Amino acid sequence: MQSLTRPAEAPRHDPAPSRWSYRMNRLWLTPAYRRVLRIGAPVLLIGAGVGWYLSDESRVNAITESWQETLRAIEERPEFMVKVMSVEGASEELAEAVREELALRLPISSFDLDLDAMRQRLVAFNAVADARLRVRPGGVLAVEIDERKPAVLWRHSQGLGLLDAEGEMVAGASSRADWPDLPLVAGEGAELVIPEALSLIAAAAPIKDRMRGLVRIGERRWDVVLDRDQRIMLPEKNPVTALDRLLALDEGRKMLERDIAVVDFRNPRRPTVRMNRNAVIELRQTRDLEPGGYVQ
């Protein structure tokens, strides 16, 4: 007779995760943890490998030398080499001084040229107002110079100098005879008001053949010096206007052709003259002065 009893059943699997599995799943769902595993761990391994490789000094030196050789090979390619330097906009003397200052050994790689530093060295020249440097195709280093042009000859306590129209020093001068076409200015502070001096020189065009120069008096005003030791004393304010008035007066009366030592125009409303002794009698007889004028 068969037994009616059932065989024992195997224990059922609990579908609930274990505590350890649950914690790992929760940890994996954390964004920061995933970034560490996906990015941080590979980077750490690579960094450790690179650090181990570079810990050997001989390998580091080999890598450095190889890199330098590769870089130098690129920099010295023909298209990057400067073979010629041209200096533009400068006189022959200044161009030669520029070449001596830069003292480049050509050919040279354009990567070895510090154009900003070279420009600073050039603008330090008194005769250079500005400079521009650039490497042109074909291996040409173009140096473009804005040269200061002498406008006046300045007599100062140390000698003679050339100034441009802004009063900037251009160069020294050894003799007045070397620059006969330049007007002469002198006196303390004259170099600070060169634009005004040039305006006076332009206004004095009718008597430019007689003009010897301008003298700054007391750092305040100008005297116009003419030949025959004549001098025109101008006011502090509006000296150009005063000189125009004086020249208009002279055009009609030829005052400056007389034996006059000084024309004092510091007060344009009351101009005076100082005559040479031999001309006093003649001038009093002719009374050739503006109304209100008097003779010294």
pLDDT digits (tens, 9 = 90+) for 120-136: 999 999 999 999 999 99
pTM surpassing 0.85?
no
Closest by Cα among 256, 292, 293 to 276:
256
Higher local confidence (pLDDT), 1 or 94: 94
Question: Would you call the peptide bond into 107 cis, given omega within 30 degrees of 0 as the criterion?
Answer: yes
Q: Domains for the chain: give ranges and CATH numbers.
A: 78-147 (3.10.20.310), 152-295 (3.40.50.11690)
Tokens in use for 50? 């690179």
Per-residue confidence band for 39, with pLDDT thresholds at 50, 70 and 90: confident
Tokens in use for 142? 């173009």
Three state DSSP letters for 138-207: CCEEEEEEEECCCCEEEEECCEEEEECCCCCEEEEECCHHHCCCCCEEECCCHHHHHHHHHHHHHHCHHH
Please tell me the predicted confidence (pLDDT) of residue 284: 58
What is the C-alpha to C-alpha distance for residues 282 and 288, in angstroms, rounded to an integer?
10
pLDDT digits (tens, 9 = 90+) for 76-110: 677 788 999 999 999 898 999 999 999 998 888 88
Most confident of 5-19, 27-41, 157-171: 157-171
Per-residue confidence band for 288, with pLDDT thresholds at 50, 70 and 90: very low
Per-residue confidence band for 237, with pLDDT thresholds at 50, 70 and 90: very high
Please tell me the predicted confidence (pLDDT) of residue 122: 94
Three state DSSP letters for 41-53: HHHHHHHHHHHHH
Return all residues near 164 (Cβ < 8 A) that are at least 6 apart.
Answer: 129, 148, 149, 150, 151, 170, 194
